[in-house]
Amino acid sequence: MAKFEECLQRLEKIVQELEKGEVPLEKSLALFEEGMQLSSTCRKELEQAEGKVEILLKKNGKLQAEAFEPLSDKAPARR
């Protein structure tokens, strides 16, 4: 599997090529499909990274690591 940065760079190149509008329809569809696969790969890598991130909270004058739980559409915001 390619690294996140490599996937992102390839995805950016695909978007630039498609935005030019000079690509034949068949190639556009192939590029779009590749872009969707790259996007999915990047999203999965980001989700895995989010699961590993920790935040430091100050409790009772000491820093304490706690798992970071990002806000998502599925989870209600903490108040």
According to the model, what pLDDT value does residue 1 have?
A: 46
Instruction: State the alpha helices, DSSP H only, in 1-79.
Output: 4-20, 25-52
Indicate the average pLDDT of the chain: 81
Q: How far apart are CA 33 and CA 11, in angstroms?
A: 11
Whether the Cβ atoms of residue 67 and residue 54 lie closer than 8 Å to each other: yes
pLDDT at 70 over 90: no
Q: How far apart are CA 22 and CA 16, in angstroms?
A: 11
Residue 78, helix vs strand vs coil: coil
What are the tens digits of pLDDT across the range 22-59? 999 999 999 999 999 999 999 998 888 776 766 666 66
Whether the Cβ atoms of residue 28 and residue 15 lie closer than 8 Å to each other: no
- Report pTM: 0.61
